[in-house]
């Protein structure tokens, strides 16, 4: 009798959700909607890919399902997803975007996500999370894989150059893409201009770019800016 009760408790226990989105309004709306679903509970939210990676890989706080905005401010959502999936088959990932789904669908699948949904599709959101949580993919006719299959594929293939960039290299590229000089970037990052140039040089090398301008073009394309 007790065993049956324990099993029922496990089956009825809400599964955990985390969200990473740099849009505070969207983050609040998503959280509010999900918290109304009895079978789901939010364990944390993040506004940067770096924070999400730290929580999942270093703080042992990976949720059952992670919602990743594809247009994060510090790194492309696909880079976050691929870095995560190269390390572990957990959590399952549902990509979210305010852009047309076909812009990110293929890249999200290649990065190891299990599905994608429009950020404002509130009617479908809870169902989409449940579908991914249960081990299926979304949409069913898209090239998505299970988390386990994506993990096996990604860890056995050469790393995408974008995923080899350090957080500092990505931040330097982000700031440079907004027209900041090395001195201005150095001030924001609290390092010397020489260090900034080292970051951008390493980024250029990793991206196979002959110039900083070429590296910025590749970075912006990855972010679909």
Per-residue pLDDT of the chain (225 residues; tens, 9 = 90+): 444 445 455 456 899 999 999 999 999 999 999 999 999 999 999 999 999 999 999 888 999 999 999 999 999 999 999 999 999 999 999 999 999 999 999 999 999 999 999 999 999 999 999 999 999 999 988 899 999 999 999 999 988 899 999 999 999 999 999 999 999 999 999 999 999 999 999 999 999 999 999 999 999 888 875
Confidence (pTM): 0.88
Identify the pLDDT of residue 225.
53
- In the block, residue with structure tokens 């042992």: 60
Non-local (6+) Cβ contacts of 95 within 8 A are: 67, 68, 70, 77, 81, 104, 108, 113, 115, 116, 117
CB atoms within 10 A of CB 190: 7
Q: How far apart are CA 32 and CA 132, in angstroms?
A: 20
Domains of the chain with bracketed CATH: 2-155 (3.40.50.2300), 165-222 (1.10.10.10)
Contact between 96 and 69 (Cβ < 8 Å): yes
CA angle 18, 41, 21 (to 5 degrees): 25
Residue 140: the pLDDT is 84
């Amino acid at each position: 009798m007790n065993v049956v009760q324990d099993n029922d408790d496990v089956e009825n226990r809400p599964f955990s959700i985390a969200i990473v989105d740099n849009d505070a309004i969207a983050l609040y709306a998503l959280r509010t909607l999900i918290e109304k679903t009895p079978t789901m509970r939010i364990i944390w939210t993040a506004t940067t890919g770096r924070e999400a990676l730290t929580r999942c890989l270093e703080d042992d706080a990976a949720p059952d399902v992670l919602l990743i905005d594809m247009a994060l401010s510090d790194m492309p959502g696909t880079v976050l997803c691929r870095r995560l999936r190269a390390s572990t088959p957990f959590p399952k990932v549902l990509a979210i975007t305010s852009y047309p789904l076909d812009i990110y669908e293929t890249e999200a699948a290649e990065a190891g996500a299990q599905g994608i949904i429009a950020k404002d599709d509130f009617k479908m959101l809870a169902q989409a999370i449940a579908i991914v949580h249960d081990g299926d993919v979304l949409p069913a006719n898209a090239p998505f894989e299970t988390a386990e299959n994506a993990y096996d594929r990604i860890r056995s293939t050469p790393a995408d150059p974008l995923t080899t960039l350090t957080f500092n290299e990505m931040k330097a590229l982000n700031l440079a893409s907004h027209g900041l000089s090395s001195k201005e970037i150095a001030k924001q990052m609290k390092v010397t201009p020489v260090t900034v140039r080292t970051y951008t040089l390493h980024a250029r090398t990793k991206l196979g770019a002959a110039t900083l301008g070429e590296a910025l073009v590749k970075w912006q394309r990855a972010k679909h800016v």
